[in-house]
Amino acid sequence: MREAMFIKKNADKWKAYQEEDPDDPDEASERFITLMDDLAYAKTFYPKSKATKWINGLSANVYQNIYRNKKEKYSRIFTFWKYELPLIIKKHHRTFLFTALIFMLFVALGVFASRQDPEFIRGILGDNYVRMTEDNIAKGDPFGVYKDENPFNMFVRIAFNNIKVAFITFMGGFTGGLLTFYLLWNNGVMLGSFQYFFFANGLGIQSILVIWIHGTIEISSIIIAGAAGFVLANGILFPGTYTRMESFKRNAKDAAKILICLIPFFIAAAYLESYITHLMSETYDRAPSGMPAWLGVLVLGLSFLLITWYFIAWPIILNRKGFFIKKDGIVSRLQINDA
């Protein structure tokens, strides 16, 4: 076959391969095989032709595309945690801020109501819990509640309960956010009353060093679960330029990914409460033992840094570097000309 006829016969196909990316791996593989056949023929009969160089370049591009897709398949989990999830969080940062602010407002209301009426604490925390804690304080073991159960059983129970609460808070988005709002109110007021109770008994600093070892991650995760619920509600109530169904699908997908990411955080919080808080609570009884206070402060500080870095700082950094999620869900980066 003459070279001109060979080019005329295949030029349209090569141009299509050059201008359009394959839709799936099978198509990419088929293109690669076709191009290798064409390249073998061209090298045999037209080794110095420009057409041969063109086919060789196309083959290399298709090969790189196949290799890149294969590599991404195995690094999908890494990409999700490092790029995709933080970018989703950045997309909904205003919802996160709104959720955090109303939760802090509910905590403040819990503190205020407890100061105005000491009986309010019993109504929120339960009379039995308050009497038990008062007895522990009188015995010189104010945080004895964290030592009353086998650590492993406590870990399983707390992890399961926290994940369940987060899931219900997320599902509250289907009620237009009303159930999510109520659960945040309930947990916020309870936290405010709980924390005020210890401050009123002269154990404020000790309670922070003991309880917030696990509370930093646990409470932050509850707020984030609330934000996921509101993201879901926003998709239903405020579709914007999308149809309501399309808006719901987009936000539901984002909210579900946010919820899923909380599972390891709740497991970490349950571990800290069952084992580390357990040890820290022994530091403040009448016969001090357990772990030193400075170690508790270190764990608390590292937990706070983890939450603020992953859910606030890192998403902002990625956004400023030009990373974004394309319509097909793939993370990409804007190519900014430094000049």
Residues 33 and 133 in one domain: no
Residues 108 and 232 in one domain: yes
Residues 109 and 176 in one domain: yes
Taken in order 310, 312, 317, 323, is the CA torsion positive or negative? Answer: positive
Residues 173 and 129 in one domain: yes
Residues 141 and 172 in one domain: yes
Residue 79 lies in a domain: no
Tokens of 222: 């509850």
Residues 138 and 254 in one domain: yes
pLDDT digits (tens, 9 = 90+) for 284-293: 655 455 677 7
Residue 77 lies in a domain: no
Q: Which of 33-47, 159-173, 203-217, 301-315 has the lowest mean pLDDT?
A: 33-47
Residue 61 lies in a domain: yes
Residues 124 and 208 in one domain: yes
Q: What is the pLDDT of residue 328?
A: 55
- Cβ neighbour number for residue 25 with a 10 Å cutoff: 13
Q: Domain of 11?
A: 3-68
pLDDT digits (tens, 9 = 90+) for 276-323: 887 777 666 554 556 777 888 899 999 999 999 999 999 999 999 888
* Beta carbons of 227 and 170 less than 8 angstroms apart: no
Residue 300 lies in a domain: yes
Residues 234 and 308 in one domain: yes
Going by the DSSP 8-state scheme, the letter that residue 50 receives in this structure is H
Q: What is the pLDDT of residue 287?
A: 47
Q: What is the pLDDT of residue 322?
A: 86
Residues 51 and 98 in one domain: no
**Pairing outcome for strands 323-325 and 331-333:** antiparallel
- Is it the case that residue 69 has pLDDT exceeding 70? no
Element (H, E) at 103: helix 93-116
Residues 172 and 259 in one domain: yes
The model's pTM is 0.76
Residue 241 lies in a domain: yes
Domain count, the chain: 2
Q: How much of the chain, in percent, has pLDDT values that exceed 90?
A: 52
Choosing from 14, 33, 68, the residue where a domain stops is 68
pLDDT digits (tens, 9 = 90+) for 16-37: 777 776 666 667 777 777 877 7
Residues 60 and 103 in one domain: no
Residues 21 and 92 in one domain: no
Residue 161 lies in a domain: yes
